[in-house]
A and B are shown apart, each in its own frame.
Chain A
């Protein structure tokens, strides 16, 4: 299956917390790029992860050529042309930077957007930046609209401060661009609040098309009422996955398992391995990225992308 995202990386602060070093990554068959990446370190404001750290919000680098991206040659060889970096903060302090890298091959539909506003002047959100693959028309429409709090995918995530997943998005009344999404073949969307700063909202939206999905399955895990365990609030994939549903009925204890570690540490994790010999022909799930949603230093949710 072709996927919208080619590479997923987690960059974490080193011992002195003055540089970012390689934490983990999913590279598919891009072994050379992986080897090159594992050696890298990024200072504050250096390279894509360092720029996101310094900016304090997600950034999209639409073209690597002639940019501050540090791995331009390796990325070119691997067919990677653009990147999205999402810094995970707890208050002022950086926990990690998640980087998605995409290519520019044909039939490469989908969108990853960053929404924000000027909190003094604006009461609605607009696209600050985004990557849309081959969806030029959808991009043009998206860059012209703004969404008030509580409306649209980004507005709902802003209002609730929680991740919001809408399946069959092209038919959803709550999704302002439903008609355009339908034309673009977009079937599902998830909005995630990403900056731990109540005064300045930043919302990431991931819009997934059937042919090149963002992930094979996306889940939202939230703490239960007592805050003692995580439960799966929602799970979505384009085709039914009974096995995944079984695992979504389990509860997660802080510190136990991959999701429990995300809760304990506030750090995103990557598990599994795309290069393993584990039956891809069964369209099974072989790796996971779990991102914490943190507000005022507390975990509000974990979003897991299963690939």
Chain B
């Protein structure tokens, strides 16, 4: 059973809470407070749902922090249709942003779509991070090879094989070894 943390701007509004309970979600409802990040850390929900009139800048900044530190599927119901808010919501990596669309009977589908989208976003994010690391490694390796070619009169092949041997001897990656070569050359620069 999924654990949902429901954050309402109006605690008297029970539509979402009832729909969640009817759909067999474990639901904890709270009122929005500026200390929301600490609360999320304590509760460790599987999904976050906000039902607000409009998300504040502080909330969006908090959600961005949350996304950087321990990302979660986040669904936001709101009435704010301004482009600026939509742009900020997208930047905060919110999985689903629903404007004027609060219908209890759709909640299960919305949650499932949000979770699927969240997983897809996370996969893309990890792939991007890996690609960035590989690209950075490639840059460092090219720099290290250039240093070895220049200082040792190596051919490109010799530079690569020297780098690889050094990495193997130290049991580290080629990228890490390349960083060492670059750093060492900086000392003598």
Contacts and interface: CB of A to CB of B under 8 A. Distances in A.
Nearest to A260: B188
Nearest to A278: B183
Contacts of A279: 176, 179-180, 183
Nearest to A288: B187
A272 B188 CA distance: 9
A243 B166 contact: yes
A244 interface: yes
A257 B187 CA distance: 9
A246 interface: yes
Interface string A157-177: 000000000000000000000
A249 B152 CA distance: 8
A250 B183 contact: no
Contacts of A284: 180, 183-184
Interface residues of B, number: 20
Interface residues of A, number: 23
A282 B180 contact: yes
B184 A285 contact: yes
Interface in A220-257: 242-244, 246-247, 249-250, 252, 257
A152 B186 CA distance: 35
Contact of B179 (A249, A278, A285): A278
Contacts of A243: 166, 177, 180-181, 184
A289 to B, nearest CB: 10
Contact of A250 (B151, B166, B169): B151
A242 B188 contact: no
A279 B184 CA distance: 11
A288 B188 CA distance: 8
Interface of A: 242-244, 246-247, 249-250, 252, 257-259, 271-272, 276, 278-279, 282, 284-288, 306
Given A244-B184, A246-B162, A285-B187, 14 more contacts: A243-B180, A243-B184, A246-B152, A246-B166, A247-B188, A249-B152, A258-B189, A279-B179, A282-B170, A284-B183, A284-B184, A285-B184, A286-B187, A288-B187
26 contacts: A243-B177, A243-B180, A243-B181, A243-B184, A244-B184, A246-B148, A247-B185, A247-B188, A250-B151, A257-B188, A271-B186, A271-B188, A272-B183, A276-B183, A278-B183, A279-B176, A279-B180, A279-B183, A282-B170, A282-B172, A282-B176, A284-B184, A285-B183, A285-B187, A286-B183, A288-B187
